[in-house]
Amino acid sequence: MAVEYLSCPFCGFEFAKEDTLCRHGCPLGSMCQLIRCPSCQYEFADKPPAVSWLSGLFRRRQRPAVELPENVLTVRDLRGGERGRVLCLGAGTATRHNNLAVFGLVPGAEVEVVQQRPAPVVRVGETELALDAAIAREIMVERLEPERAPA
């Protein structure tokens, strides 16, 4: 089983769910639905309890519109063959950022978009990486001039 990572809504500290302090030795044990952040001791509910599974059935997730500065684009905005320099990895958990970083996708890296559909594919160095459109929309880049192919 993969470890579930949480981040504290109060201090932003990220930790494994099983590391939550009160899980060990608390008489409530697994009956307790709260999670205590090991850093700031703030207690919070793991997931907002669903009213019913039916409500989950018809829930819609909305995407907030973000306005970007003039020359900042997202990877999703680049076309196939265009290159960009990563400015930041945008929203998402530290786990996601680290998963991108191990492929070399970090701020400062140069990426080339291979294609946008059916799923965005970027090339970082020699690695070709397929991403979710949602992740590509988070990664901010500045456009680079296309590399001149050697004659």
- Report which DSSP code applies to 54: H
The tokens describing 18, both together, are: 């099983």
- 27/118 with CB nearer another protein: 118
Of 33, 40, 66, 99, which lies in the binding site for another protein, with binding defined by CB under 8 A?
A: 99
Q: What is the pattern of x (binds another protein, CB under 8 A) and - over residues 20-49?
A: ------------------x--------x--
Q: What are phi and psi of 11, to 5 degrees?
A: -110, -5
Q: Does 91 bind another protein (CB under 8 A)?
A: no
116 and 79 Cβ atoms separated by less than 8 Å: yes
Q: In what order do the strands lie in the sheet with 83-88?
A: 73-74, 140-144, 83-88, 110-115, 121-124
Q: Per rule CB under 8 A, is residue 94 in the interface with another protein?
A: yes
In the list 9, 29, 130, 146, the residue contacting another protein (rule: CB under 8 A) is 130
Query: How far apart are CB 27 and another protein at their closest, in Å?
Result: 25
Q: Which residues of 69-107 are buried (b: 16+ CB within 10 A; e: fewer)?
A: eeeebbbbbbeeebbbebbebbeeeeeebeebeeeebee
Q: Which stretch binds another protein (CB under 8 A): 26-34, 52-60, 65-73?
A: 52-60
Residue 38 CB neighbour total at 10 angstroms: 14
CB of 117 to another protein, least distance (A): 4
Q: Enumerate binding residues for another protein (CB under 8 A).
A: 1-3, 5, 13-16, 19, 38, 47, 50, 53, 56-57, 92, 94-104, 106-107, 114-115, 117-119, 121, 125-132, 135, 149-150
